[in-house]
Amino acid sequence: MTASNRIWANLRRDRSGMTGLVIVMAFFLIAAGVWLGLLGQGWSLADGGRWEPASAEYWFGTNVLGQDIFQRAIFSVRTAFDIGLLVALLSTALGAVLGAIAGWYSNSWIDGSVLWLKGVLDSIPFYLFVAAVAFALQGKPWAMHVAMIATFWTTTGRLVRAEVMKIKSRDFVLSARAIGLPDLLILARHVLPNTSHILLVQTSIAFVAAIKTEVILSFLGLGVQDGVSWGLMLAESTQEVLAGHFNNFLSASLMLFALLMGFNLLADALQDAFDPAQVSV
């Protein structure tokens, strides 16, 4: 069997990993449905009574403004994917590029600068950074995304850098250099593809981190501004639950939990499939 066939076979045998994949796919379909205008479109309509219990018309009941909690929860799936995909893909890509460059030119000033940048970004308290970026961008809605991408890349960067340092002394790289191929070409076409296992796993992990971060940011008022997200729903629910209204809280937290669980199981399975000898962290 080729390497990728073997990996795929390993993955298929991993029951919890497959469960994770199914869950993620299901949520993705829901998000697609919202994108295409088929689902969750009534999230902002406030035509119900206050805090109505679950009924045939309002599957999860209504919130304090009479909005349909079910619609809001469904729409939030799309919000989660919007943020999660963007942040995960871009931060992993940024980490891959910077990590590869740092690893390739390791122990030079280039490496030093990337490491310094990493250190700086890692030491700034995250919420301060988000707020700062939000101010710098004068309240544009994608401040949150920028802040996340700017800080999440460091983990991927560190892992890719270490891997590239290992790869660059391997034979096929040495031969490529010997025949005079330019460095960047070697990096892009030969070295980086060999880090794809790291990138795949990190993307899943970053997705989870992005969604969790959005939840807290929305609670603090620094997150999603228009539209609805589970974070905003949870923020609404903090006072409500003290008065005995649990629908908002339950729908948001359970759906959030399901999606996060799905991605975590998938990330674990990917890690195991690529390198069963390595202990998953």
Question: How many helices (H) and strands (E) in the chain?
Answer: 11, 0
CB of 210 to other proteins, least distance (A): 12
Among residues 143 and 160, whose Cβ is nearest to other proteins?
Answer: 143
Contact 173, 190 (CB under 8 A): yes
Please give the residue ranges that form the binding site for other proteins (CB under 8 A).
Answer: 116-117, 119-129, 131-133, 135-136, 138, 208, 212, 215-216, 219-221, 231, 234-235, 237-238, 241-242, 244, 249, 253, 256-257, 260-261, 264-265, 268, 279-281
Sign of the Cα pseudo-torsion (141, 142, 146, 147, in order): positive
For the beta carbon of residue 135, count every other beta carbon within 10 angstroms: 10
What single DSSP character describes residue 181? Answer: -
CB of 241 to other proteins, least distance (A): 6
Among residues 45 and 220, whose Cβ is nearest to other proteins?
Answer: 220
Among residues 165 and 241, whose Cβ is nearest to other proteins?
Answer: 241
CB of 264 to other proteins, least distance (A): 5
CB of 189 to other proteins, least distance (A): 32
Question: What DSSP assignment string belongs to 220-279?
Answer: HTSS--SS--HHHHHHHHHHHHHTT--HHHHHHHHHHHHHHHHHHHHHHHHHHHH-TTSP
Among residues 195 and 237, whose Cβ is nearest to other proteins?
Answer: 237
For the beta carbon of residue 106, count every other beta carbon within 10 angstroms: 17
Among residues 108 and 238, whose Cβ is nearest to other proteins?
Answer: 238
For the beta carbon of residue 68, count every other beta carbon within 10 angstroms: 25
CB of 124 to other proteins, least distance (A): 6
CB of 225 to other proteins, least distance (A): 14
Please, which residues bridge with residue 62 across strands? 68
Among residues 71 and 248, whose Cβ is nearest to other proteins?
Answer: 248
- Tokens 């942040």 locate to 87
CB of 260 to other proteins, least distance (A): 4
Please, which residues bridge with residue 68 across strands? 62
Among residues 49 and 112, whose Cβ is nearest to other proteins?
Answer: 112
- Tokens 């939000």 locate to 134
CB of 45 to other proteins, least distance (A): 26
Among residues 100 and 146, whose Cβ is nearest to other proteins?
Answer: 146
**Which has the closest alpha carbon to 23: 272, 231, 261, 210?**
261
Query: How many Å apart are CA 255 and CA 190, to the nearest integer?
Result: 40
**Which has the closest alpha carbon to 268: 87, 2, 10?**
10
